[in-house]
C-alpha cells in the first residue's frame, strides 16, 4: 500500500510540473511572436543603412571619419577594447546562455587584449560565469525584455563618444543572431571601428558598371549622419535578435520539458497499475487462502 501511495504522489508531482512547463511554453510562444515581429521589422532598416554606406563608400572615394579611422589625435595610452555580452535575465532557456558564454570564452582565449579590456554585461545569467572564471565586469546593464530604441541609442552614443575620444580602441558585441525559428547562432559583431565596404569591391566587379551620384549635401556630411545611424541600428538589431532567440530557446526547452513530463507520467501510471494489480492479487490470494483454511 505504501508503494502505490508513493507512486501516486510522484504522478501528481509530475502532473503539476507538466502544467507549469506547458504554461511557460505558451508564455514564451506569445513573447516570441511579438519579439520576432520587432526583429524582422527593424532588419530592413539596418540593411538599408548599410547599403547606403556601401554606395557612399564606392562612389565617394576615400572617406575619412573618426568612427572608421579612429580619433584624429590617436588613442590614449590606457585605451582598451570593449566587449558587450548580451545574456538573459532568466534561465530555463536551454543552451542559450551557454553558447554565448562559450563564444565569449573562445574570443578571450584567442585575444588576450579583449579579456584585459572593459567587459560589459547585459543580463544576470552571465554574472556567475564571469565571476567564476575571474573575468571582471566593468558595467552591467538591465534593459528588460523589450528595450526601446532610445535606450539602445543612449548606449550606442556613449560607445561612439568614448571611441572618438580615444578611450576605447574597439567595441565588440557578443549576442545570439536570429536567423529563423529553427536556427540561431552566436555571433561576434565588430561594432566599432565601423568598416563599410570599400570602393571597388566584388559587387562592382560582378556588375561591371559604376553608378555616379551627385551628393547634396556633400559626401562628408552624409557620412556624418549615416555612420552614427548605422552603429545605432546595428546595436538595436543585435538586441532584438538576442531577445527573440532567447524566447525561441525557452519555448523549445519548455516544450521538451512538457513532453518529458508527459512521458514520465505515462511510465509512472504503468508502474502504478502494475503495483496496484499486484496488491489486488495479493489481497485476493490472502482472502482465498483464509477461506480455504476455514473449510
Q: Is 150 a catalytic residue?
A: no
Q: Is 84 helix (H, G, I), strand (E, B) or coil?
A: strand
Q: Which long-range contacts (CB under 8 A, 24 or more apart) does 3-11 make?
A: 3/275, 4/272, 4/275, 4/276, 4/279, 7/268, 7/271, 7/272, 7/275, 8/272, 10/268, 11/265, 11/268, 11/269, 11/272
Q: Which of 82, 84, 93, 174 is catalytic?
A: 93
CA 51/CA 57 separation, integer angstroms:
10
CA 234/CA 49 separation, integer angstroms:
9
Q: Which three cell numbers stand for residue 251?
A: 519555448
DSSP annotation of 197: P
Q: Which spans in the chain are helix H?
A: 2-60, 66-69, 96-110, 112-116, 127-132, 149-164, 202-207, 219-294
- The DSSP H or E segment spanning 121 is strand 118-122
Q: For the chain, what's the residue count?
A: 295
Closest CA relative to residue 71, chosen from 168, 171, 173, 191: 168
122 in Cβ contact with 88 (< 8 Å): no
Catalytic residue positions, numbered = 93
Amino acid at each position: 500500500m505504501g508503494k502505490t501511495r508513493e507512486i501516486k504522489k510522484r504522478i501528481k508531482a509530475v502532473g503539476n510540473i507538466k502544467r507549469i512547463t506547458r504554461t511557460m511554453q505558451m508564455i514564451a510562444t506569445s513573447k516570441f511572436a511579438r519579439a520576432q515581429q520587432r526583429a524582422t521589422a527593424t532588419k530592413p532598416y539596418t540593411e538599408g543603412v548599410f547599403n547606403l554606406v556601401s554606395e557612399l563608400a564606392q562612389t565617394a572615394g576615400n572617406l575619412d571619419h573618426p568612427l572608421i579611422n579612429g580619433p584624429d589625435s590617436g588613442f590614449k595610452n590606457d585605451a582598451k577594447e570593449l566587449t558587450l555580452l548580451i545574456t538573459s535575465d532568466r534561465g530555463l532557456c536551454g543552451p542559450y546562455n551557454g553558447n554565448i558564454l562559450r563564444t565569449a570564452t573562445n574570443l578571450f582565449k584567442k585575444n588576450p587584449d579583449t579579456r584585459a579590456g572593459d567587459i560589459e554585461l547585459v543580463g544576470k545569467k552571465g554574472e556567475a560565469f564571469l565571476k567564476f572564471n575571474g573575468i571582471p565586469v566593468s558595467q552591467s546593464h538591465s534593459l528588460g525584455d523589450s528595450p526601446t530604441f532610445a535606450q539602445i541609442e543612449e548606449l550606442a552614443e556613449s560607445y561612439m563618444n568614448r571611441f572618438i575620444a580615444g578611450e576605447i580602441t574597439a567595441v565588440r558585441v557578443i549576442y545570439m543572431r536570429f536567423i529563423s525559428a529553427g536556427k540561431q547562432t552566436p555571433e561576434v559583431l565588430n561594432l566599432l571601428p565601423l568598416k563599410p565596404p570599400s570602393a571597388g569591391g566584388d559587387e562592382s566587379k560582378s556588375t561591371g558598371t559604376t553608378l555616379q551620384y551627385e551628393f547634396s549635401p556633400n559626401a562628408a556630411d552624409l557620412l556624418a549622419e549615416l555612420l552614427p545611424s548605422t552603429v545605432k541600428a546595428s546595436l538595436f538589431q543585435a538586441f532584438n535578435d538576442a531577445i527573440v532567440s532567447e524566447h525561441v530557446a525557452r519555448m523549445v526547452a519548455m516544450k521538451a520539458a512538457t513532453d518529458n513530463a508527459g512521458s514520465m507520467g505515462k511510465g509512472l501510471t504503468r508502474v502504478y497499475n502494475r503495483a496496484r494489480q499486484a496488491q489486488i492479487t495479493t489481497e485476493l490470494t490472502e482472502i482465498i487462502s483464509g477461506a480455504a483454511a476455514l473449510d
